[in-house]
Amino acid sequence: MKRTIQFTLCIFAAVILLSCAATLSFAHGGIKRGAADHGFSVKEYEDFHHVLHPLQHEALPKNDFKQIRLKASELVTLGEAITKLGIPSGVEEKSREEFKVNLGSFGDALAKFKADAGGGTDEQLKESYLAVHDFFEMLAALLPEK
């Protein structure tokens, strides 16, 4: 009887620990999300962010410019899809002019990034990459909510 109670308590404790671990993992982003789960309401922005995110949070902090250069062509292609899209439907009327200006700046930054990825120094690449990132963030903030 004593072993049965001990066994039951161990199982109960294990279930509680696993439940807490799963809750903490989820709360801190430990459960991996799919590419279409960043919360953008426009597919082109979702696709771009899927490539941008690991560059921003993994490659850039490590000064891994080789990785940034390897992904540059894909990022530029996805960025060009954003510029071709123009102003997505659902962007508030009061934000449309700001969106248009930022979209133009995003396109310019994308062109500079493409050139720097092909033949610029690491410092030039970093600067142009950050400009692309920052203009993307400005545009994303003006998108309609999902």
Name the pLDDT band for 3 (thresholds 50, 70, 90). low
- Please report the pLDDT score of residue 51 as a whole number: 97
- 79 and 106 part of one domain: yes
- 89 and 40 part of one domain: yes
- 126 and 101 part of one domain: yes
Name the pLDDT band for 145 (thresholds 50, 70, 90). confident
- Please report the pLDDT score of residue 26 as a whole number: 33
- 21 and 53 part of one domain: no
- 16 and 78 part of one domain: no
- 88 and 134 part of one domain: yes
- 21 and 54 part of one domain: no
Tell me the DSSP string of 37-56.
GS--SSHHHHHHHHHHHHII
Name the pLDDT band for 1 (thresholds 50, 70, 90). low
More confident residue, 61 or 2: 61
- 15 and 80 part of one domain: no
What confidence tens digit (pLDDT) does each residue in 72-127 have? 999 999 999 999 999 999 999 999 999 999 999 999 999 999 999 999 999 999 99
Residues 78/104, Cβ–Cβ less than 8 Å: no
Tell me the DSSP string of 89-143.
TT--GGGHHHHHHHHHHHHHHHHHHHHHHHH--HHHHHHHHHHHHHHHHHHHHHS
What confidence tens digit (pLDDT) does each residue in 14-33 have? 333 334 333 333 333 333 33
- 45 and 94 part of one domain: yes
Domain that holds residue 18: 1-32
Give the number of domains in the chain: 2
What confidence tens digit (pLDDT) does each residue in 28-47 have? 333 333 334 568 899 999 99
- 22 and 48 part of one domain: no
Q: Residue 28: helix, strand or coil by DSSP?
A: coil
Q: What is the CATH number for 80?
A: 1.20.120.290
